[in-house]
Structure 1
Amino acid sequence: MFTFFKQKASNLYPGYFALVMATGALSIGTYLLGMVLIAKLLFWINVAAYLSLWLLNMIRLFSYFPGMAADLTSHTIGPGFFTWVAGTSMFGCQLIIVTNHYQMATYLWGLAILLWLVIMYTFFSAVTIRQDKPAIAEGINGAWLIVAVATHSISILGTLLSPHIERGQGVVLFSTLCMYFLGCMLYLNIITLIFYRFMFVKLEHSALTPPYWINMGAVAITTLAGSSLILHAAEWPLLVEITPFLKGFTLFFWIMGTWWIPLMLILMIWRHLYHRYPMTYDPQFWGMAFPLAMYTTSTYQLSKALRVPFLTVIPRFMIYIALAAWIFIFFGMLHHMLFKKHGDGSSASITM
């Protein structure tokens, strides 16, 4: 049994915690929309996924450390490690909203902050000082935006925890506000490079991988982080003072995320129908499931934060699209795990 897990861990895709991110966001969205049974089923699936991924990553850390270190310092693979942060935070949010467990969520928030510090400064230091840097066409992809997603996920979890903190509530909300603005800065910087790569560098259809959906998903979670702060504004005077700014800034990011959806759909059609690129399972597809689920959840919360109930029309039909995408990818993952033959030529960096 240990040999089996060790084999799976040896080439584990660093961004696999996107599975936890997608499942957590979808569970929260279904819960908010009254689909409680589905939300709780997704919660238990996420418990199994979160613990399994930690087990596999700990095996890889202690048994294959050089490979993991090389991945963490890679321009193309390294950003995937930020799913560890976002997955941990989203699981914590899921614990609060779906099961009302605050104590474990508090521990997960602390773990997410620690992971954020280690991964953030290891990755950015390594890619800054390395000598053999790739060209922008090879070095930048949608996965880089998980840096912003991870930052905003910590903001959201801290904001949800703030009403249940007896001492230092103002400090917690100040830190979540800072993480919100930091995530906004990171998104705007990185999306500028990605937009330049889209518009002015040749883009092969094979290079249009599912993580590019995080172009939309990153602003969806930005919307959720801003909406959470607005909904908790009464807990801290400074938030009350800047609420008008937060409302405008959050709406700005939601509009940006909405703009991305038709473009990403068109590019998917161009890749898979026009160029007939096979749609076989790849763990990177969780980078598409997460944005769809997060857009659904964030739009619902934005409608409450801005007091515009007509916006709830969007999540009430988007939830079914997000569910369909999650089910399709989940069963693709199960088929891949159960029936994939060892040594079939698949890329080692994306196997599980």
Structure 2
Amino acid sequence: MFSFLKQKAVHLFPGYFALVMATGALSIGTYFLGMDLIAKILLYFNVAAYISLWVLKLTRLFCYFPRMAADLMSHSVGPGFFTLVAGTSMFGCQLIIITDLYMVAMYLWGLAILLWLVIMYTFFSAVTIRKDKPALAEGINGAWLIVAVATHSISILGTLLVSHMERGHDVVLFFTLCMYFLGCMLYLNIITLIFYRFTFLKLDHSALTPPYWINMGAVAITTLAGSSLILNAKYWPLLVEITPFLKGFTLFFWIMGTWWIPLMFILMIWRHLYHRYPLSYDPQFWGMAFPLAMYTTSTYQLSKALGVPFLTAIPKFMVYIALAAWVFVFLGMIHHLFFHRIHYSKSVEERSL
């Protein structure tokens, strides 16, 4: 059993916690839209997924530390480690909204902040001081935006926890407001490089990986972070004062995310239909499922924050697209894991003969 665990952990995709992110965002969205059964099923699944991924991640940490360290300091795969932060925060949000487990969510928030500090400064220090840096076309991809996603996820979870706190509302909301603005800064910096890479450098269809959907997903979670602050402004007078600004700024990011959706569908068609690129399972596809789920959830909360109920028409149909994407990626993962398990069992039997 342990040998099988090590075999799965050695090449574990650094961004696999995007599975937890996608499931958490979809669970929250379905809960808001009255699909309670689906929301709870996704919650139970996420509990198992979160624990399982941590077992694999810790196995890799202790058994294959040099590999893991090399991945963390890589331009191409290093940003995937920020899914640990975002996955932990989204799981905490899921526990609060669906089960009211505020105490567990509080510990998860603390863990997310600790992970954010370690990963943020390890990764950016490493890619800054390394001598042999890749060209922009090879070094940057959509996964870099998970840096902003992770930052905003901490803001959202902290804001949700405020209503359960007896004191310290102003301190926590000041911190979550700062994380919101920091996430906005990180997104605007990184998306500028990605937009330049899209429009002025050669983009081969094979390089258009699913994490580029986070171009949209990162601003979707920005929208959710801003909406959460607006909806909880009553707990801190300063938030009340800047609410008009927050409403405009949050709407700005939602519009940006909405603009990305048609373009990403067109590019996906260009990649898989026009160039016939194989549509086989890859853990990076969770980077596509997450943005669709997050856009659904964030649009619903934005409609409440701005007081514009007609916007709820969008999540009412987007939720089915998000569910279809999640099911598609999940079935691909099950197929992938099942056949790899059979292959592993056969190889063990052959070695024992």
Same fold at TM > 0.5: yes
Question: Partners of 2:336 and 2:45 in 1: how far apart?
Answer: 18
Name 1:315's counterpart in structure 2. Answer: 315
Q: What is the Cα deviation at residue 163 of structure 1?
A: 1.2
Question: Partners of 1:10 and 1:143 in 2: how far apart?
Answer: 21
Name 2:272's counterpart in structure 1. Answer: 272
Name 2:7's counterpart in structure 1. Answer: 7
Question: Partners of 2:343 and 2:235 in 1: how far apart?
Answer: 55
Question: Partners of 1:76 and 1:175 in 2: how far apart?
Answer: 30
Question: Partners of 2:48 and 2:281 in 1: how far apart?
Answer: 20
Q: What is the Cα deviation at residue 342 of structure 1?
A: 4.9
Name 2:87's counterpart in structure 1. Answer: 87
Deviations 1:133-152 (A, max 9, x none): 00000000000000000000
Name 1:200's counterpart in structure 2. Answer: 200
Question: Partners of 1:159 and 1:84 in 2: how far apart?
Answer: 19
Question: Partners of 1:159 and 1:100 in 2: how far apart?
Answer: 14
Answering whether residue 282 of structure 2 is matched by residue 282 of structure 1, we say yes
Q: What is the Cα deviation at residue 38 of structure 1?
A: 0.3
Q: What is the Cα deviation at residue 168 of structure 1?
A: 1.3
Question: Partners of 2:184 and 2:111 in 1: how far apart?
Answer: 22
Tell me the TM-score normalised to structure 1 length: 0.97
Name 2:135's counterpart in structure 1. Answer: 135
Which runs of no fewer than 5 residues in structure 1 stay unpaired? 344-352
Summarize the alignment of residues 1-352 of structure 1 with structure 2, pairs less than 5 Å apart.
1-340=1-340, 342=343
Three-state SS of the structure 2 residue aligned to 1:253 is helix
Q: What is the Cα deviation at residue 167 of structure 1?
A: 2.3
Tell me which amino acid in the other structure corresponds to 1:64.
Y
Question: Partners of 1:13 and 1:166 in 2: how far apart?
Answer: 40
Deviations 1:86-140 (A, max 9, x none): 0000000000001111000000000000000000000000000000000000000
Tell me which amino acid in the other structure corresponds to 1:77.
V
Tell me which amino acid in the other structure corresponds to 1:26.
L
Question: Partners of 2:326 and 2:29 in 1: how far apart?
Answer: 13
Tell me which amino acid in the other structure corresponds to 2:326.
W
CA distance 1:342–1:132, change in 2 (3 Å): farther
Tell me which amino acid in the other structure corresponds to 2:53.
L
Q: What is the Cα deviation at residue 83 of structure 1?
A: 0.1
The two structures, once aligned, show a CA RMSD in angstroms of: 0.7
Question: Partners of 1:108 and 1:166 in 2: how far apart?
Answer: 19
The alignment covers a number of residue pairs equal to: 343
Question: Partners of 2:163 and 2:304 in 1: how far apart?
Answer: 18
List structure 1 segments (4+ residues) > 4 angstroms apart after TM superposition: none
Three-state SS of the structure 1 residue aligned to 2:131 is coil
Tell me which amino acid in the other structure corresponds to 2:168.
G
Question: Partners of 2:168 and 2:39 in 1: how far apart?
Answer: 32
Question: Partners of 2:201 and 2:245 in 1: how far apart?
Answer: 36
Three-state SS of the structure 2 residue aligned to 1:13 is coil
- More RCO (CA 8 Å, sep 6+): 1
Question: Partners of 1:40 and 1:109 in 2: how far apart?
Answer: 21
Three-state SS of the structure 2 residue aligned to 1:60 is helix
Name 1:346's counterpart in structure 2. Answer: none
Tell me which amino acid in the other structure corresponds to 1:248.
G
Which runs of no fewer than 5 residues in structure 2 stay unpaired? 345-353
Q: What is the Cα deviation at residue 222 of structure 1?
A: 0.1
Three-state SS of the structure 2 residue aligned to 1:132 is coil
Question: Partners of 1:159 and 1:168 in 2: how far apart?
Answer: 12
Question: Partners of 1:98 and 1:30 in 2: how far apart?
Answer: 10
Deviations 1:242-269 (A, max 9, x none): 0000000000000000000000000000
